[in-house]
Chains A and B, each alone.
Chain A
């Protein structure tokens, strides 16, 4: 329609809408005028007054019908109808308050849970990274597939190649994340810090809250003496003092000048240990403390880059692949052909959230299943109500309501319900999202961006409307059809027209049960995984062990380093152990560089050092690698890890003595498959000048890298021979961690008051925390599965109870004709069992087809785990039969006399 046309029609529509009464009056007048004239005309033709009047009315073909047609011509009827339907709908909802409350609460729970989970999915997976042109940001990783290695570190010349030779990036910055001791504030703190190039912030497009961020002036070969701090640290340690700029802060003993504070919303878009980097430094990685740059000196763990405008990830990848081939060709000594060194890029967002995607998608799937089940349940309630309203519908139908008009009214009612439920759901989500976020494991990135924004609200609205349609359509069509067919015949008592409704209701229940099975199977698999991991033997006895972390600082300035020499650190370690053992209640104490299942230093290929053994020559085509863990002599005794052969370390295994090592079973199997490793020599790195270590013992495998990670080879070396700054103490004691905490901290800080001591907890808690994210998904999906079970049993109960009510006359008749209680019981129970059986069968088939999508979330449990696939159907079936028993028993209580008389 042209705008000019609207100029005429819009006022007309508005008039019809808001001056409806006047318009109706005028319509009356007009038609009355017509009747008067027509009558006069007929009288003029010789009819009597009455005859003429009747003829005139007949010509008009039913005055009310004509009026309705004229009103239809106004084209605003649907609005008026809608308002009217809304009134009727509200009245209906008020009238059946019980139903309304139940439906609204289930909807609020379903939509609320979905909205809350979606708000997390939206922030983490869907919304673009909060940086300008985020799709140009990529994570750059090097791999050596020939060695089975991903994420191998960078050297400075390789980074220069990315910048200058590749021609696809505007900026590349390394991102080296680690922890650092902050001293000088009221107590020493362990902070996560990030070393970048000076272009890091400008590449991301970040702006400071106060001060400035890094710029070209901060370029340094080594570390620039400046730092940028996070908003969180600024508030925590400096009370949000705006004069913090220019202040000096000591990080691992080195002084840095604070030049800027980041805004609260800034988060480093890369892997982090604690979820938030608090201190940023910039370095060139080409001078002290880094070794002189060389191609083979790979010291930078990973990088991110910004692609030039207009270059796609695919184009850039193609160019980088070609460049890697050129580089391998140019420097064959640094890139042995069999390593197959390659460069890979991945959109930064994918790289950041890739590992949590499966979990979040499973949660979203679970919560959407819950919405389905909720809708099906409400659809069933509505269907039951609709059968009760058949008479009303029949009357409406007889009075001239059209089929579509009645469907519209029923839909308006269910939509009203779903929108009310949706609004309650959004309120639920707003109210619970904070609570939910506290449960969410903190290793999920971007949680700080989670909020109920318009995208989330739009989603909630869409879900509400869809559920409204889903649970409203079936009853609407059904009742409209039923009304048309049965017209005013006899009313609700007739059982003939309910056969179709009955089938529809059966179908709804069956699909509800099927969805419940899918959810319960998913929950069963996750819970089995979690249970399996909780029961997993970690390779040591975590009970009655308390652990604490006390990382030593590593200053860049050797003069400021109190732990520079092995002798200095060894004397600290011995003093530390002496003091720990002196604490009352502590039986044994030991030091380790890697507390099992914790990952305090973002292990990467760097931590897993190359090694060679005398039994595998250096020129062997296979590069040997193992994770090196430094421990003090009593470590395995504290952990109660069994020694298989040889001996543990002793106090005498120190500097100047024969270097020794203990290996685990995996290492023994992997590198000495054919001979006894005891007494054999092993060397870290391939340089022949390094002193070889003698294998003196073999221990059982310990799950150092996580309960769900197996098969990593480990080599233990005495910390008195090979120092490490990342220290943890493990103490065997019957006292709880809480009691020991002040003493542990006091004793450690009386040796060095600048040492932060954190994470003092029982080893069992440490193991538990390592399963946080699995526990979260298992708990959430398990909770939903429980809800699904409840809703499904309510559904089947409601259906059968309704059926019993409808068929009480038939049941009474059967009993009058001699049916026994058991026959009646069987009649209803069979119905319930058949419904449950079909629903469960369908659910099992769907689960079996989809369970493999969850494979990445499972550990030690097959996606088609027979136990889960047996237990879930049995449980659901038992609950369904129980839910059918109640109405069945009521059926047997039907009094034949009463039932027959009532009819």
Chain B
């Protein structure tokens, strides 16, 4: 499965979980929201997004539901499950620890 090269391994999952934690939405909306929230810094190609969503679904972290969209067609809406919420907390935790550790290292004054 192709992975976006500029994303730390595993962070895409966390980002997707976070976005879906805010509200249930469909794949297209997720891609828009991702771009929006990260200020276009995180570019996730559509080709990577869908396999990632399907993987999360298979893990049981998100669940999908078919609803009629505002355009009058059937669209697949993803929402976070209880398991997914727990997973998000775990990953966010890990991320927090990792990033603060890295920033501490980066901010070290050079002698």
Specify whether A and B are partners.
yes
| Interface of A: prevailing SS | helix
Q: Give complex CA distance A59, B46 in Å.
A: 6
Contact A61 B60 (CB under 8 A): no
Contact B76 A33 (CB under 8 A): yes
Contact B28 A12 (CB under 8 A): no
Given known contacts A8-B81, A73-B58, A34 and B46 CB-to-CB distance under 8 angstroms: yes
Contact A30 B83 (CB under 8 A): no
Closest-CB distance, A6 to chain B (whole angstroms): 9
Q: Which residues of B contact A4 (CB under 8 A)?
A: 83
Q: Which residues of A contact B83 (CB under 8 A)?
A: 4-5, 8
Q: Which of A63-71, A220-228, A726-734 forms part of the interface with chain B?
A: A63-71
Q: Give complex CA distance A60, B47 in Å.
A: 4
Closest-CB distance, A287 to chain B (whole angstroms): 82
B73 part of interface (Cβ distance < 8 Å): yes
Q: Give complex CA distance A33, B51 in Å.
A: 16
A584 part of interface (Cβ distance < 8 Å): no
Contact B2 A61 (CB under 8 A): yes
Q: Give complex CA distance A62, B51 in Å.
A: 13
Smallest Cβ-Cβ distance to A56: which chain B residue: B46
A29 part of interface (Cβ distance < 8 Å): yes
Closest-CB distance, B74 to chain A (whole angstroms): 6
Contact A12 B46 (CB under 8 A): no
B37 part of interface (Cβ distance < 8 Å): no
Cβ-neighbour of B47 out of A9, A13, A26, A65 (below 8 A): A65
Against B, the Cβ 8 Å flags (1 = close, 0 = not) of A26-37 are 110111011011
Q: Give complex CA distance A5, B66 in Å.
A: 23
A807 part of interface (Cβ distance < 8 Å): no
B27 part of interface (Cβ distance < 8 Å): yes
Q: Give complex CA distance A243, B74 in Å.
A: 85
Contact A12 B47 (CB under 8 A): no
Closest-CB distance, B84 to chain A (whole angstroms): 10
Q: Give complex CA distance A655, B55 in Å.
A: 103
Given known contacts A29-B76, A33-B69, A69-B1, A59 and B47 CB-to-CB distance under 8 angstroms: yes
A500 part of interface (Cβ distance < 8 Å): no
Against A, the Cβ 8 Å flags (1 = close, 0 = not) of B42-64 are 00011110111011011110000
Chain A residues 606 to 633 lying within 8 A of chain B, measured CB to CB, are none
Contact B51 A70 (CB under 8 A): yes
Q: Which residues of A contact B59 (CB under 8 A)?
A: 5, 9
A74 part of interface (Cβ distance < 8 Å): yes
Q: Which residues of A contact B2 (CB under 8 A)?
A: 61, 69
Q: Which residues of B contact A75 (CB under 8 A)?
A: 58
Q: Which residues of A contact B66 (CB under 8 A)?
A: 26
Q: Give complex CA distance A145, B76 in Å.
A: 89
Which of A16, A72, A73: most chain B Cβ within 10 A?
A: A73
Q: Which residues of B contact A74 (CB under 8 A)?
A: 54, 58
Given known contacts A9-B59, A59-B45, A75-B58, A66 and B71 CB-to-CB distance under 8 angstroms: no
Q: Give complex CA distance A30, B67 in Å.
A: 11
Cβ-neighbour of A73 out of B46, B54, B71, B76 (below 8 A): B54
Contact B58 A69 (CB under 8 A): no
Contact A33 B57 (CB under 8 A): no
Chain A residues 9 to 56 lying within 8 A of chain B, measured CB to CB, are 9, 12-13, 16, 26-27, 29-31, 33-34, 36-38
Cβ-neighbour of B58 out of A12, A33, A65 (below 8 A): A12
Q: Give complex CA distance A66, B2 in Å.
A: 9
Cβ-neighbour of A9 out of B27, B60, B69, B76 (below 8 A): B60
Q: Which residues of B contact A9 (CB under 8 A)?
A: 58-60
Contact A30 B76 (CB under 8 A): yes
What number of A residues sit within 8 Å (CB to CB) of B?
29
Chain A residues 72 to 95 lying within 8 A of chain B, measured CB to CB, are 72-75
Closest-CB distance, B17 to chain A (whole angstroms): 15
Q: Give complex CA distance A62, B47 in Å.
A: 8
Contact A69 B51 (CB under 8 A): yes
Closest-CB distance, B54 to chain A (whole angstroms): 4
Contact B47 A66 (CB under 8 A): yes
Smallest Cβ-Cβ distance to B28: which chain A residue: A37
Contact B47 A36 (CB under 8 A): no
Closest-CB distance, B46 to chain A (whole angstroms): 5
Chain B residues 17 to 38 lying within 8 A of chain A, measured CB to CB, are 26-28
Closest-CB distance, B79 to chain A (whole angstroms): 14
Q: Which residues of B contact A38 (CB under 8 A)?
A: 28, 46
Given known contacts A12-B58, A30-B27, A61-B47, A36 and B81 CB-to-CB distance under 8 angstroms: no
B15 part of interface (Cβ distance < 8 Å): no
Smallest Cβ-Cβ distance to A32: which chain B residue: B73
Smallest Cβ-Cβ distance to A75: which chain B residue: B58
Closest-CB distance, A432 to chain B (whole angstroms): 50
Q: Which residues of A contact B50 (CB under 8 A)?
A: 30-31, 34, 60, 66, 69-70
Contact A5 B46 (CB under 8 A): no
Q: Give complex CA distance A70, B58 in Å.
A: 10
Contact B57 A12 (CB under 8 A): yes
Q: Which residues of A contact B47 (CB under 8 A)?
A: 59-62, 65-66, 69
Closest-CB distance, A220 to chain B (whole angstroms): 76
Contact A61 B51 (CB under 8 A): no
Smallest Cβ-Cβ distance to B76: which chain A residue: A30
Contact A73 B51 (CB under 8 A): yes
Contact B26 A33 (CB under 8 A): yes
Q: Give complex CA distance A31, B57 in Å.
A: 16
Q: Give complex CA distance A65, B47 in Å.
A: 8
Given known contacts A5-B60, A13-B58, A26 and B76 CB-to-CB distance under 8 angstroms: yes
Q: Which residues of A contact B46 (CB under 8 A)?
A: 34, 38, 59-61, 66
Q: Which residues of A contact B1 (CB under 8 A)?
A: 69, 72-73
Q: Give complex CA distance A4, B27 in Å.
A: 27
Closest-CB distance, A92 to chain B (whole angstroms): 30
B14 part of interface (Cβ distance < 8 Å): no
Q: Which residues of B contact A30 (CB under 8 A)?
A: 26-27, 50, 75-76
Q: Give complex CA distance A890, B71 in Å.
A: 74
Smallest Cβ-Cβ distance to B54: which chain A residue: A73
Q: Which residues of A contact B45 (CB under 8 A)?
A: 59-61
Closest-CB distance, A15 to chain B (whole angstroms): 10
Given known contacts A69-B51, A70-B51, A29 and B58 CB-to-CB distance under 8 angstroms: no
Q: Which residues of B contact A69 (CB under 8 A)?
A: 1-2, 47, 50-51
Closest-CB distance, A266 to chain B (whole angstroms): 58
Given known contacts A61-B45, A70-B54, A72-B1, A33 and B75 CB-to-CB distance under 8 angstroms: yes
Q: Which residues of B contact A61 (CB under 8 A)?
A: 2, 45-48
Closest-CB distance, B19 to chain A (whole angstroms): 16
Q: Give complex CA distance A708, B51 in Å.
A: 76
Contact B27 A72 (CB under 8 A): no
Q: Which residues of B contact A5 (CB under 8 A)?
A: 59-60, 83
Contact A72 B51 (CB under 8 A): yes
Q: Give complex CA distance A62, B45 in Å.
A: 11
Q: Give complex CA distance A33, B47 in Å.
A: 14
Smallest Cβ-Cβ distance to B63: which chain A residue: A8
Q: Which residues of A contact B71 (CB under 8 A)?
A: 36-37
Contact A66 B51 (CB under 8 A): yes
Chain A residues 449 to 463 lying within 8 A of chain B, measured CB to CB, are none
Against A, the Cβ 8 Å flags (1 = close, 0 = not) of B67-104 are 00101011110000101000000000000000000000
Q: Which residues of A contact B27 (CB under 8 A)?
A: 30, 33-34
Closest-CB distance, A50 to chain B (whole angstroms): 19
Smallest Cβ-Cβ distance to A10: which chain B residue: B60
Closest-CB distance, A787 to chain B (whole angstroms): 50
24 A–B contact pairs at CB < 8 A? A5-B60, A8-B60, A8-B81, A12-B58, A16-B58, A27-B54, A30-B75, A30-B76, A31-B50, A33-B73, A33-B74, A34-B46, A37-B28, A38-B28, A38-B46, A59-B45, A59-B46, A60-B45, A60-B46, A69-B51, A73-B1, A73-B52, A74-B58, A75-B58
New contact pairs (13) apart from A37-B28, A70-B50, CB-CB < 8 Å: A5-B60, A8-B83, A26-B66, A29-B76, A30-B75, A33-B76, A34-B50, A60-B45, A60-B47, A60-B50, A61-B48, A72-B1, A75-B58
Q: Which 8 A-B pairs have CB atoms at the shortest separation, nearest pair first? A: A61-B47, A8-B60, A69-B51, A73-B54, A73-B55, A37-B28, A70-B54, A59-B46
